[in-house]
Amino acid sequence: MKILITSDLYSAGPKGKLTANGVITSVKNLQSELEHLGHEVRVLTLSDTTHSYKEGKIYYICSMPALVYPNARITLPIHNDLVRELILWKPDVIHSQCEISTMPYADRISRCTGAPIVHTFHTMYEQYVGYIGISERFSKYTVSSIAKWRLRNVSLLIAPSTKTKKALESYSLKAPIRVIPSGISLSQHRKRISAETRKKKREELGIGEKDFVLVFLGRLGKEKNIDELLRLFSRARRTYSNLRLLIVGGGPAKEELEERAAKLGIDGRVIFTGMVDPALVQTYYQLGDVFVCASTSETQGLTYIEAAANGLPLLCRKDPCLTDILKEGENGFSYANAKEFMKGLSFMAANPEWRRAARKKSETLSLRFDKAVFGKSALRAYAYAMRLSRARRKKR
């Protein structure tokens, strides 16, 4: 099968900076698994310059910076030789991953070739209204209207979680919806670093042998609510003097968060690593004792799954996307307020035997999210979308 994946996000960010987030992880895992299963895959994405170019089976379309969101880029649906090449290639199905800049290209290629569009909805846009100045009161109406317009030609919608499916249903979209969790590379995240490597890396970061480390890994943006983690950590430090917070990742809020940590008087106990090589993220997860997250903007929460696959207990703000990866009291705790956060942390810190059992439970729960399962589920969705498309053509 010929499969075209379209995505605003792929690998190279603005000015060639290494970029990693949930969409990119999902796209790359899907691409590699589909190719492993013997299918021909090409990717249409945005260039980080005003020039279009091609690298192997990856087609980079010229783009320019968007002012509405840090590091975001947009493009105009202009006629492009690379797009014409993809039309002549005649994909059997188009799997769109983003609703903004590359969706018009997916629409055009679909019209010219008859290939149905399957679309994965990755982003809870209501959580991003602060970046563009839309009041919360109008955010849902705005998102719903834009979603109906952008996704009007989609044959099948994929929701990475039940939480996302419910959001899509509230938009009253016409296309049927399937829940398919995005997969992760379990082979990567089940690699265990040695005790010696862990000790050495922690020492390099200024982490003591007896320090109890909370680790957050992800994009440093306002929607991740990391400011809350800093405030909770500041409170917890009054009880646990050996507590450290390791924040792994880069993003537009990094400088602001560093300043916030300094104002709270915890900058000496909070470590910002900046962006790290995606091939090495398992090392950073395993430097921690507990994974923490305060975000409610996740459609699925790939970092929760990655953390679990790396054998970490979870302490996260309550959110529907935690349903399948956090079992309350078994491999972690969810919290709705500071009191519940402290209760969960206190239990974890005081019970090393429980933590050992929780690590095993986390590893077990992560198994259903292997990218091999993801790839096969996507193929079944493609076959269904193609049947729907053929049935519609017969009715015309």
The helix/strand/coil state of 90 is: coil
Cα–Cα dist 21/97, whole Å: 13
The helix/strand/coil state of 165 is: helix
Under the banding of pLDDT at 50, 70 and 90, the label for residue 133 is low
Under the banding of pLDDT at 50, 70 and 90, the label for residue 125 is low
- Computed over every residue of the chain, the mean pLDDT equals 90
* Out of 5-9, 167-171, 223-227, least confident range: 167-171
Average pLDDT, stretch 297-326?
A: 94
Checking if the pLDDT of 129 tops 90, the result is: no
Average pLDDT, stretch 176-184?
A: 94
Q: For position 224, what pLDDT does the model report?
A: 94
Average pLDDT, stretch 238-246?
A: 96
User: pTM of whole model > 0.85?
Assistant: no
Cα–Cα dist 97/297, whole Å: 17
Residues 112 and 87: beta-carbon distance below 8 Å? yes
Structure tokens at 118: 């399957």
Q: Is the dihedral of CA 14, 15, 18, 24 positive or negative?
A: positive
Checking if the pLDDT of 293 tops 80, the result is: yes
Cα–Cα dist 238/296, whole Å: 26
Structure tokens at 379: 């193929």
Q: For position 357, what pLDDT does the model report?
A: 98
Checking if the pLDDT of 254 tops 50, the result is: yes
Structure tokens at 28: 């790359």
Write the DSSP symbol of residue 309: H
DSSP 237-267: HTT-TTEEEEEEB--TTHHHHHHHHHHTT-T
Q: Is the dihedral of CA 37, 41, 47, 52 positive or negative?
A: positive
Q: For position 396, what pLDDT does the model report?
A: 67
Under the banding of pLDDT at 50, 70 and 90, the label for residue 127 is low
Structure tokens at 123: 């982003």
Residues 219 and 251: beta-carbon distance below 8 Å? yes
Checking if the pLDDT of 30 tops 50, the result is: yes
Q: For position 13, what pLDDT does the model report?
A: 46
Neighbours of 79 (CB within 10 A): 7
Q: For position 16, what pLDDT does the model report?
A: 45
Average pLDDT, stretch 114-129?
A: 80
Neighbours of 45 (CB within 10 A): 25
Q: What percent of the chain has pLDDT over 70?
A: 90
According to DSSP, the β-strands at 73-74 and 58-61 are unpaired
* Out of 130-144, 167-181, 312-326, 328-342, least confident range: 130-144
Structure tokens at 68: 């509405």
Residue 370 carries which side chain, given as an amino acid letter?
D
Under the banding of pLDDT at 50, 70 and 90, the label for residue 20 is low
Length of the chain as a residue count: 396
Long-range contacts of 90-93 (CB under 8 A, 24+ apart): 90/2, 90/115, 91/2, 91/3, 91/4, 91/42, 91/115, 92/1, 92/2, 92/3, 92/382, 92/386, 93/1, 93/2, 93/3, 93/4, 93/117, 93/118, 93/382, 93/385, 93/386
Average pLDDT, stretch 41-48?
A: 94
The helix/strand/coil state of 291 is: strand
The alpha carbons of the chain give a radius of gyration, in whole angstroms, of 22
Of the ranges 77-81, 274-278, 312-316, the best mean pLDDT one: 312-316
Residues 29 and 36: beta-carbon distance below 8 Å? no
